[in-house]
Chains A and B, each alone.
Chain A
Amino acid sequence: MEPFTKIKSIATPLDKVNVDTDQIVPKQFLKLIQKTGFGQYLFYDWRYENGAPRKDFVLNDTAYENSRILLARDNFGCGSSREHAVWALDDYGFKAIISTSFADIFYNNCFKNGILPIRVSDETLQKLFSTKSEIEIDLEDQSIIVDGVTISFTIEPHWKKILLEGLDDIAVTLLHEDAIVRYEKSHKI
């Protein structure tokens, strides 16, 4: 995977709570077996109506065309464990998702695919939703910089290392099982 260091981009505001993985990639696309190309199906039922883009859906707003950061509300990624949801977000171009909370399996799936999910407070999320400015995310520094303000975030040390170095979780875990346990112990958040 590509190492994740810093990204700077405007953020796409998806103002909905409890967005489940079936909204992220609807069930009709689960039958496809390749791991790439899911971006076109991202939020499909919200994004298209009878094959035509819905003007009122944020992904169809050209202002957010090159956005690499998704802003979401509580419990993002709940529901089915389908990893296709993360494959679609990645393929579409999102590299970070910021929310107050994520569903557990989805959260883990993000790291396996080089996407950084960031948990922030209600207050921080509100601030991010209300700005039109670019947002900078610095993983090494564990910070979000927006409108001249720096907000720090926490992340499990193991996941930080995986993303920073662009490591493949399977390969890493194979080689470094003991090291991971030691590392997590010494860096408990």
Chain B
Amino acid sequence: MLNITEKILARASGKTSVSPGDVVFVNVDKVMVHDVSGPGVMAVFEKLRKTGMKIDKIWDPDRVWVAEDHFVPAADKISAQNIVLLTNFTKQFGIKKHFKYGMGQYGICHTLSHEEAMVLPGEVYVGGDSHTNTTGAMGAFAAGLGHTDVAYVLLNGKIWFKVPETLYFKINGKLPDHVMAKDVILKIIGDIGTDGAAYKTMQFGGTGISEMSVESRLTLTNMTTEAGAKSGIVEPDQKLRDYLAERGVTKYDEVHGDADAQYEKIYEYEASEMEPIVAKPFSPENTVVARDLSSIELDKAYIGSCTGAKLEDLRAVAKILKGKTVKIRTEVLPAAMSIFRKAMDEGLLKIFMDAGVVVGPPTCGACCGAHMGVLAKDEICISTTNRNFPGRMGHVESQTYLASPLVAAASAITGKITDPRDIS
């Protein structure tokens, strides 16, 4: 009667069974830090050293991987210095999986987690970033931690969790052509609120999920963070196995929930009833159907981030932009070099450039307001990203509307928020 999350946590803590609310010490399979959390962890190490603790090795360098994503290309002197620090850190502790900007594959940490098959089904994965939940779509338990907790895991390979309750979201049927996973998760967050899943797991299942690509599922789990969830998860299936096989990985130990698994609550949605949804400033729960916002004039369209710049997201954008010209400033930033390359091979970059779009390197960039095209005061942006808090993408008085890649592309053409069904 255990669900997949309980089974993974039971296995990782050497127990036959666990229940929501139990405290368990789990063995961690993989850990990730990036160019913000890495230096944060180093600061914690420094503090520990001052208390007399000797830190000259970490638990298992082969289970740790490092991404350069928030402030690359180096936004200024301090971020350049942080990359140097991160490099010294990985050298010092013998961490080999360091995806470096300008040296082949690199990209947003959550994107690398699936593009590079860094995390496998059944594993416990933690990272120094709140959107670590993304990787739960690989059938793993994936949760974000603060710097102190990541430091602890790096030293011990373990962490304690209170076993979360699970909310099960059952999606029935196939999504209409103009609707993407982003619309589904925005709809759900609008329904349950930004703390609707606080300290809970959001599990997605049903025929709607079986129909969905792995990349679409990753959009769902990515945004579970925006509902306050501890983690998001999808059970492994043949699509996931194929996805991993394409990346040369066939050996892993899948975990599945029991047939009579228990959930705190089950929510049911009909895929055929879904519509393009947009979240208005300044909260992802502030959702309405895209058509209700057709009078909103925009300054910019941003197609990027771990949520909205995977290959299928770029294909969706290209479908809309083909043969058209953008009316507002538009940027496409593929989420990893591997995606950038595929977009080039498939001719998507040409479509973007012909439409007048700037194509930029993989980075968290303006999604978190770091650099690479941030917003000015009073500017309004439609974005395929995951947060629209005040100042998230730039000035504290700028505004971000969250939308699917299809809606963002349609809006880029008209200069106003546009439902993709309403363009010729």
Contact = CB atoms under 8 A, between A and B. Distances in A.
A104 B92 CA distance: 32
Contact of A113 (B36, B148, B158, B194): B148
Given A33-B39, A101-B198, A105-B145, A27 B389 contact: no
A143 interface: no
Given A27-B369, A112-B146, A181-B25, A105 B130 contact: yes
Given A78-B389, A101-B198, A188-B21, 13 more contacts: A18-B194, A23-B391, A27-B370, A31-B76, A31-B78, A35-B44, A75-B198, A81-B132, A103-B195, A103-B198, A109-B147, A173-B156, A180-B23
Interface string A147-182: 000000000001000000000111101100100110
Contacts of A170: 44, 48, 148, 151-152, 155
Interface in A84-121: 84, 86, 101, 103-106, 108-109, 112-113
Contacts of A184: 23
Nearest to A181: B23
B216 interface: no
A106 B130 CA distance: 10
A17 to B, nearest CB: 9
A175 B130 CA distance: 28
Contact of B46 (A35, A80, A158): A35
Interface in B284-323: none
A184 B21 CA distance: 10
B147 to A, nearest CB: 4
Interface string B386-422: 0101111000100000000000000000000000000
Contact of B145 (A46, A75, A81): A81
Among all A-B residue pairs, the 8 with the closest Cβ atoms: A109-B146, A112-B148, A81-B130, A35-B43, A83-B147, A31-B78, A83-B146, A33-B39
Nearest to B230: A104
B71 interface: yes
Contacts of A174: 155-156
B42 interface: yes
- Classify chain B's interface size: 35 or more
Nearest to B25: A177
Nearest to B44: A35
B389 A18 contact: yes
B129 interface: yes
Contacts of A81: 37, 128-130, 132, 144-146
B228 interface: yes
A18 to B, nearest CB: 6
A32 B42 CA distance: 12
Interface string B51-72: 1010000000000000000110
Contacts of A80: 129-130, 368
A62 interface: no
Contacts of A31: 36, 39, 71, 75-76, 78-79, 82
Interface string A14-40: 000010101100110011111100000
A126 B154 CA distance: 42
A23 B146 CA distance: 17
A82 B149 CA distance: 12
Contacts of A134: none
A61 B177 CA distance: 54
A79 interface: yes
B228 A78 contact: yes
A83 B309 CA distance: 27
A104 B198 contact: yes
B283 interface: yes
B357 to A, nearest CB: 25
Interface in B1-57: 21, 23-25, 36-37, 39-40, 42-44, 46-48, 51, 53
B160 A168 contact: no
B42 A33 contact: yes
A109 B37 CA distance: 13
10 contacts: A22-B369, A31-B36, A31-B75, A33-B39, A35-B46, A103-B195, A104-B228, A173-B160, A174-B156, A188-B21
B93 interface: no
B368 A22 contact: yes
B263 interface: no
A173 B152 contact: yes
B391 A26 contact: yes
A22 B146 contact: no
Nearest to B48: A170
A104 B199 contact: yes
B376 interface: no
A23 B283 CA distance: 13
A183 B151 CA distance: 24
Given A23-B390, A79-B389, A81-B130, A30 B36 contact: yes
Most central of A18, A32, A112 by chain B CB within 10 Å = A18
Interface in B346-369: 368-369
Contacts of B372: none
Contacts of A75: 194-195, 198, 228
A170 B147 CA distance: 11
A169 B148 contact: yes
B231 to A, nearest CB: 10
A84 B145 CA distance: 13
